[in-house]
Amino acid sequence: MNYVYLLRSIPNPDQTYIGFTEDLKIRLAAHNHGQSPHTAKFKPWELITDLAFKDKSTALAFEKYLKSHSGKAFASKRLW
């Protein structure tokens, strides 16, 4: 399965992260152990939303959309 996920920093709730993975449990643990340079300084993270996709290209396209201006508006209204 392919996942698009939204994280929020527990100590800094204004910090959010949108990502893609094929193994959500392992990826969340990596974020919380500081193994991702982009998210290490705001750990620990809580999972807010995860969306599962059968098709990898669809998941990657949705992740890209969520990082766009209109996708951020959609996410703030519907997913956070």
Q: Tell me the CATH number at 46.
A: 3.40.1440
Please tell me the distance from the alpha carbon of residue 66 to that of residue 51, in angstroms, as a whole number. Answer: 12
Tell me, yes or no, whether 67 lies in a domain. yes
Please tell me the distance from the alpha carbon of residue 44 to that of residue 10, in angstroms, as a whole number. Answer: 6
- Give the tens place of pLDDT for each residue, 7-63: 999 999 999 999 999 999 999 999 999 999 999 999 999 999 999 999 999 999 999
Q: Is the pTM of this model over 0.85?
A: yes
Tell me, yes or no, whether 25 lies in a domain. yes
Tell me, yes or no, whether 48 lies in a domain. yes
Number of structural domains the chain divides into:
1
- Give the tens place of pLDDT for each residue, 11-22: 999 999 999 999
Tell me, yes or no, whether 80 lies in a domain. no
- Edge to edge, the sheet with strand 2-9 lists 16-21, 2-9, 45-53
C-alpha separations of 16 from 35, 54, 64 in Å: 16, 25, 15
Q: For residue 40, give its domain range.
A: 2-75
